[in-house]
């Protein structure tokens, strides 16, 4: 995980005097290297967690193409680096190293904004075109890597974290009525594209854009689209098997130690199994990491979300994999204290003990590896939640994981109670998501509802978990 930030003022007058302050507040995301590009019209800031091509992947990075100079700051992992590099070499590009940053930069120099259609990965980046005095920026299809921005007085300021923008502007954080409603009624989720704090926006997932003297222009380059399924069950199973295993293998490219989360559940066990085989072929042993809570065996209670304790299966998986296993135990007082650090990392109220436990867990993982694979968001994609499987839960009107609007509204008081109707606010967000769902004609009621569930999870619940994962990794990049 790295951080990016910058200010663009095409008419000139950029000082960059706050650049070092931004690097300081974002250093948690990128502790290994700092970089800075400064011109009269642009300042680009980078803090780096080194994973691939430690020496040649330094940022900001620049290249020349057809008389133009391009400068990039990039946060991400590109999983089809080799394929794109080969294509670019065939078009005359020459590379100094093997980092994905250099590939993304040259891809833009050759293909322009169309480069985003070629990328298989998770990313947020910004590229300054010195000749045209124009910034191009983009975020990955799912929104794994963060990108916040603000536009004011003819300038564009962006950063991986909200605190970076506040540092650049020198303004105190403010929230208006909508910000209060987002925190109290929608939180820990957020309306897609909304930065909660006044004047701050988030680049939506699968969006890119330009900023120059003509202002800001945004473009959505991808969306979930319903299509007819023509494969047989056997073909579908084989197709899914290939996509899952291929995605895991592509994430094992690293020049630093790599490991995997292992809870004993299906998702992490599958990922650890594939990763272990790949690493054995390299002559390496996979390191796995399991979190346990003190006295969990005494207090665990089964629910629809967690019908049994995954920890019962950890030992079996460790024996099967032959991996180097690390068991990390967390006690309740630690979780409570870490809540403050978790909110600081996230810049917003989050998922309480889920956030703090992940923060503590990753701190311990960092002592052993720099990169760790996890199975986050598998339930959203493969239907692991009750609202996919339970007909009663599935049929409920409103966000299935947030059925407590009336209770939450009870904490809103004073002037805010007269400004907005809580039930209407949440229902409007829910209805808008249903209306945006891509659905083929003549679907059965069940199929139609399942499409809506996929879209609801993609736009809301998945984004919440990704925010949590990104913010609280604490120097460990969890792919």
Place of tokens 């006690």: 331
The answer to whether 456 touches 348, Cβ cutoff 8 Å, is: no
Q: Residue 77 has which token pair?
A: 């992992």
Q: Measuring CA to CA, how many Å separate 321 from each of 218, 245, 270, 272, 278?
A: 46, 16, 11, 8, 12
Report the first-to-last Cα separation within the chain, whole angstroms. Answer: 9
Residue 323 among the catalytic residues: no
Q: Is 173 helix (H, G, I), strand (E, B) or coil?
A: coil
The answer to whether 124 touches 146, Cβ cutoff 8 Å, is: yes
The answer to whether 96 touches 102, Cβ cutoff 8 Å, is: yes
Catalytic residue among 2, 50, 323, 377: 2
The span from the CA of 307 to the CA of 296, in Å, is: 14
Angle at which helices 233-250 and 266-281 cross, to 10°: 60
Tally the C-alpha atoms within 13 A of residue 462's C-alpha that lie toward its C-beta: 22
Q: Report the run of H or E that residue 8 belongs to, with start and end.
A: strand 3-8
Tally the C-alpha atoms within 13 A of residue 282's C-alpha that lie toward its C-beta: 15
The span from the CA of 269 to the CA of 314, in Å, is: 8
Provide the annotated active-site residues.
2
């Amino acid at each position: 995980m790295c951080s990016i930030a910058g200010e663009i003022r095409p008419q000139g007058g950029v000082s960059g005097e706050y650049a070092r302050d931004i690097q300081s507040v974002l250093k948690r995301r990128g502790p290994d290297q700092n970089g800075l590009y400064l011109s009269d019209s642009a300042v680009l800031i980078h803090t780096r967690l080194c994973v691939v091509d430690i020496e040649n992947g330094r940022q900001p990075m620049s290249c020349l193409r057809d008389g133009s100079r391009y400068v990039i700051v990039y946060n991400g992992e590109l999983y089809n680096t080799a394929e794109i590099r080969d294509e670019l070499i065939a078009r005359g590009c020459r590379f100094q190293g093997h980092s994905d940053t250099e590939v993304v930069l040259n891809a833009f120099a050759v293909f322009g904004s169309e480069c985003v259609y070629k990328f298989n990965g998770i990313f947020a980046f910004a590229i300054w075109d010195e000749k045209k005095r124009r910034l191009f920026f983009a975020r990955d299809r799912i929104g794994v890597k963060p990108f916040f921005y603000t536009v004011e007085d003819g300038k564009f300021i962006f950063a991986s974290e909200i605190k970076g923008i506040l540092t650049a502007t020198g303004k105190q954080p403010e929230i208006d009525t909508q910000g209060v409603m987002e925190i109290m009624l929608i939180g820990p989720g957020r309306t897609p594209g909304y930065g909660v704090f006044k004047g701050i926006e988030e680049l939506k997932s699968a969006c890119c854009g330009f900023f120059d003297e003509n202002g800001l222009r945004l473009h959505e380059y991808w969306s979930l689209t319903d299509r007819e399924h023509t494969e047989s069950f056997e073909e579908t199973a084989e197709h899914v098997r290939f996509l899952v295993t291929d995605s895991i293998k592509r994430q094992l490219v690293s020049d630093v130690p790599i490991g995997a989360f292992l809870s004993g559940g299906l998702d992490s066990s599958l990922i650890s199994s594939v990763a272990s085989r790949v690493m054995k072929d390299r002559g390496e042993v996979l390191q796995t990491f399991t979190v346990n809570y003190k006295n969990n065996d005494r207090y665990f209670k089964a629910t629809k979300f967690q019908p049994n304790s995954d920890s019962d299966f950890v030992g079996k998986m460790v024996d099967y994999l032959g991996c180097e296993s690390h068991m990390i135990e967390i006690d309740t007082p630690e979780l409570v204290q870490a809540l403050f650090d978790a909110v600081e990392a996230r810049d917003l109220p989050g998922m309480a003990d889920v956030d703090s436990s992940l923060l503590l867990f990753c701190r311990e993982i960092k002592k052993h590896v720099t990169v760790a694979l996890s199975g986050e968001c598998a339930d959203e994609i493969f239907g692991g939640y009750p609202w996919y499987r339970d007909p009663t839960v599935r049929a409920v009107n409103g966000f299935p994981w947030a059925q407590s609007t009336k209770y939450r509204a009870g904490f809103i008081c004073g002037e805010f109670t007269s400004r907005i109707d809580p039930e209407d606010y949440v229902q409007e967000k829910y209805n808008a998501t249903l209306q945006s769902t891509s659905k083929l004609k003549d679907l059965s009621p069940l199929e139609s509802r399942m499409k809506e569930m996929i879209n609801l999870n993609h736009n809301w619940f998945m984004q919440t978990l990704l925010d949590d994962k990104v913010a609280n990794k604490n120097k460990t990049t969890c792919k």
